[in-house]
């Protein structure tokens, strides 16, 4: 299992290092790093008193209307479009499933569905709250569990028609999705409990890195040479 995981990552890395993906990868990684570095540096300088003005909301990762949030949305939509195009072109059900998952993530990024679910389900789940974990947190977790079950159903259907490219993309994107869940749920909970801006930057920085890598992966898979195109992976 570990060998398959490493091999899939090496394959995607090789695709990302070649044209036409390489310029895209360099660009988005640079933009993401620069935007986060500016926000973190400004906040730190303000915290130690070197800069009088606080971090503007437009640059803050903690503001839902900031440039960082908009950039994450753009990256997610590019990833969804890339795997959707590749899935349609190669008739790959796994890639189509990933397009749907990424569109849900993009929709949540813009409309904050998990927060709405948390507020809606919070009162009913309040009796199950433990310590700093409130009912609304359990509601948000319930939302993501439902998304996860629906995603697994989509992947199960997609497995009936898959290519090697789709399998490789699924392994890599699933790893990134697991990492995103850690930052969005676990680190977010630490941020809520501790109210630490450092935890907040760790959460948002981690999410930004994962989304950027997912976008690069999706584009790399979309423009990569087809591996056994049109044949189920189990036939090889």
d(CA 100, CA 96): 7
Tokens matching residue 18: 């070649």
pLDDT at 194: 84
Tokens matching residue 53: 């003005």
Tokens matching residue 155: 């992947």
Residue 69 near residue 204, CB atoms below 8 Å? no
Task: Tell me the H-state helices in the chain.
Answer: 2-16, 21-47, 67-90, 93-111, 113-125, 135-158, 164-181, 188-194, 197-223
**Tens of pLDDT along the chain (236 residues)?**
778 889 999 999 999 999 889 999 999 999 999 999 999 999 999 999 999 899 999 999 888 889 999 999 999 999 999 999 999 999 999 999 999 999 999 999 888 888 899 889 988 998 888 877 788 888 988 998 998 898 889 999 888 888 899 999 999 999 999 999 899 888 988 887 888 889 999 999 999 999 999 999 999 999 988 775 433 443 33
Going by C-alpha positions, the residue among 135, 190, 164, 205 that lies closest to residue 12 is: 164
d(CA 120, CA 143): 11
d(CA 96, CA 177): 16
- The full set of domain ranges for the chain reads 2-235
pLDDT at 109: 85
**192: CB partners within 8 A, 6+ apart:** 132, 137
d(CA 202, CA 193): 14
d(CA 57, CA 42): 12
Strand, coil or helix: 56 = coil
Other C-beta atoms lying within 10 Å of the C-beta of residue 119? 14
Q: What is the CA radius of gyration of the chain?
A: 19
pTM: 0.87
Strand, coil or helix: 158 = helix
Q: What distance separates the 2 farthest-apart alpha carbons in the chain?
A: 64
pLDDT at 236: 37
d(CA 127, CA 214): 37
d(CA 28, CA 50): 30
pLDDT at 24: 96
């Amino acid at each position: 299992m570990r060998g398959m995981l490493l091999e899939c990552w090496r394959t995607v890395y090789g695709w990302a290092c070649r044209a036409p993906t390489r310029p895209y990868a360099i660009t988005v990684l640079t933009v993401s790093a620069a935007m986060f570095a500016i926000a973190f540096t400004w906040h730190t300088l303000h915290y130690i008193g070197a800069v009088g003005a606080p971090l503007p909301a437009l640059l803050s990762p903690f503001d839902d209307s900031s440039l960082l949030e908009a950039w994450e949305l753009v990256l997610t939509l590019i990833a969804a479009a890339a795997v959707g195009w590749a899935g349609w072109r190669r008739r790959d059900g796994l890639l189509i499933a990933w397009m749907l998952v990424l569109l849900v993530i993009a929709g949540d990024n813009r409309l904050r569905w998990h927060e709405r679910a948390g507020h809606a389900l919070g009162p009913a789940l309040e009796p199950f709250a433990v310590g700093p974990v409130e009912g609304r947190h359990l509601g948000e977790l319930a939302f993501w569990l439902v998304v996860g079950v629906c995603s697994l159903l989509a992947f199960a259907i997609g497995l009936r028609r898959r290519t090697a490219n789709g399998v490789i993309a699924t392994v890599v994107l699933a790893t990134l999705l697991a990492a995103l869940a850690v930052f969005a749920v676990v680190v977010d909970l630490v941020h809520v409990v501790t109210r630490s801006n450092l935890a907040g930057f760790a959460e948002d920085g981690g999410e930004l890195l994962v989304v950027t890598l997912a976008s690069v992966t999706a584009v790399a898979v979309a423009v990569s040479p087809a591996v056994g195109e049109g044949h189920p992976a189990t036939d090889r």
